[in-house]
Amino acid sequence: MNIIVIGCGKIGRCLIESLASEGHNVIAIDPNPTVISEITNLYDVMCVCGSGTDSDTLNEANVEKAELVISVTGSDEFNMLACFLAKRMGAKNTVARIRNPEYNDNSLGFLKYHLDLSVPINPEKLAARELFNVLKFPGALNIETFSTRNFEMVELKLKSDSALDGMKLIDVRKQYPGNYLVCAVGRDGETIIPDGNFVLKSGDKIGITAQPAEITRLLKKLGHLKKQARTVMILGASKTAYYLAKLLISSGVSVKIIELNETRCKEFSNALPEAVMINGDGTSQELLLEEGIDKVDGFVALTGMDEQNILVSIVASNHKVPKVITKVNRTELAQMAEKLGLDSIVSPKKTISNVICRYARALENSMGSNVETLYKIMDGSAEALEFNVGQVFKAADVQLKDISLKQGVLIAGIIRGRKTIIPSGNDAILQGDKVIVVAAGKKLSDLSDIIA
């Protein structure tokens, strides 16, 4: 597809890299010549130096031939205007990054309708939902929820004393019976789609699909189930912190937010009167101890500086906080943070990349089995996708044992109405089902792509 990305900051660069790697024809627009030069050197994409709200710049980028225009600058208003102009000039679909809570809380539907936006997207709000899910299941590294919210994938890390160390998966099912599936294993930077004879080792990351209640039971049996966080300390009064605090407060969680900027503290106090606001330096161990970091159930570092988030998260871990979550946008720092023992790392740019890649694949194939949900899992080396089964899926009504799947592909779940099925060889995919597929090293745009 022909895709235009307006704005080449952290989010824009992540999107350019992801979309280009998927084979799309990407054109990047940014007014900074230095940034354009960097993008040209780093990625195999076309670039135009100029403003995304300038008709001449949009014409130079062939906006009339664009299937998708994505505006992700730091200004909500600029993004909305750029998408409005692009649509009027012939772009088929538009996505605008809209972060301001006022727009998201009150008038998002109105703006979407009148600006003819295909998708308004808020990376911070999406990241907050991801954080909230992890705080509900503190024993998990990450939790991905599929469309019905009645089917999830959790990632766990097997510690050195794990009961699963050295066990074959077939024996795991015997010793810990239940309606779940170990569908992916991350080991030494590689993602493996395992069979029943695969042997787990300490240090492995494993992906498990099941219904939420089934996941809770399994985590309890494995000793990974920790109590849901009831008191949470947040470092940094960012937009992500605002959305996360709203979710936590609405579920009865006590929230304390530490922020150095006095003006931001006052704004948050007015917007979130139920939260306790502390105006102070969150890098000060004395302040953290004074505010009870050693007594909270969860700590979330959400400042705009990756390095600061990592360092303070290490402090929280050293004070035995049961669940520590760190926002890290830079890939190299995320890898370093993991080596330092920080397991739960969230990145808004990764979250928005998942959403945009899913949307682009759905646009590519509007007839067959569309991608409804897409997550990068196992540190980005594999994908979990949810497909709607259309009328043209050629293997419908065929038992799974009679379908030859491509290597590195696994059917991890079938959702049929309100029923969730962990598939066996005797199950079949029917029209109208939603199918969860895990794929390592494959780009799947349609359910038919799983067939060898």
Domain that holds residue 162: 128-222
- Same domain assignment for residues 71 and 25: yes
Q: What is the pLDDT of residues 379-399, one digit of tens each?
A: 778 888 888 887 778 888 889
* Helix segments in 327-434, DSSP class H: 331-339, 348-364
Q: Indicate the residue type of 25.
A: N
- Same domain assignment for residues 109 and 7: yes
Give the H or E element holding residue 308.
helix 306-318
| Angle formed by the axes of helices 239-250 and 262-271, nearest 10° | 30
Task: Give pLDDT, residue 368.
Answer: 45
- Residue 148 resides in a domain: yes
- Residue 342 resides in a domain: no
Q: DSSP string spanning 202-240?
A: TT-EEEEEE-HHHHHHHHHHHT---PPPSEEEEES--HH
- Same domain assignment for residues 112 and 7: yes
Dihedral over Cα of 267, 268, 269, 270: its sign: positive
- Residues 69 and 71: their CA atoms lie apart, in Å, by 7
This prediction has a pTM of 0.79
- Same domain assignment for residues 214 and 286: no
Tell me the pLDDT of the chain averaged across its residues. Answer: 88
- Same domain assignment for residues 211 and 274: no
- Residue 100 resides in a domain: yes
- The CATH number of whichever domain residue 256 belongs to comes to 3.40.50.720
Residue at a domain's end among 222, 255, 273: 222
Q: How many residues are given for the chain?
A: 452
- Same domain assignment for residues 240 and 211: no
Closest-CA residue to 311 (of 328, 297, 323): 328
Higher pLDDT, 170 or 219: 170
Which range among 117-131, 273-287, 295-309 shows the weakest confidence by mean pLDDT?
A: 117-131
Two structure tokens written together for 165: 């160390």
- Residue 197 resides in a domain: yes
Q: What is the pLDDT of residues 327-383, one digit of tens each?
A: 988 878 888 888 888 878 888 888 888 888 878 877 765 544 477 777 888 877 888
Band (pLDDT 50/70/90 cuts) for residue 231 is very high
Tally of domains in the chain: 4
- Residue 328 resides in a domain: no
- The CATH number of whichever domain residue 434 belongs to comes to 3.30.70.1450
- Residue 14 resides in a domain: yes
- Residue 402 resides in a domain: yes
Q: What is the pLDDT of residues 7-41, one digit of tens each?
A: 999 889 989 998 998 889 999 999 999 999 999 99
- Same domain assignment for residues 86 and 31: yes
Residues 6+ apart with CB under 8 A from 174: none
Asked whether the beta carbons of 308 and 296 are under 8 A apart, the reply is no
Residue at a domain's end among 94, 121, 148: 121
- Same domain assignment for residues 142 and 197: yes
- Same domain assignment for residues 91 and 15: yes
- Same domain assignment for residues 380 and 404: yes
- Residues 126 and 356: their CA atoms lie apart, in Å, by 12
- Same domain assignment for residues 81 and 15: yes
Highest mean pLDDT (candidates 47-51, 215-219, 327-331, 430-434): 47-51
- Same domain assignment for residues 16 and 109: yes
Residue at a domain's end among 189, 222, 255: 222
- Residue 375 resides in a domain: yes
Closest-CA residue to 19 (of 447, 425, 363, 327): 363
- Mean pLDDT throughout 243-251? 93
- Residues 193 and 172: their CA atoms lie apart, in Å, by 16
Query: CA dist 120 to 84, 112, 273, 355, Å?
Result: 12, 7, 28, 11
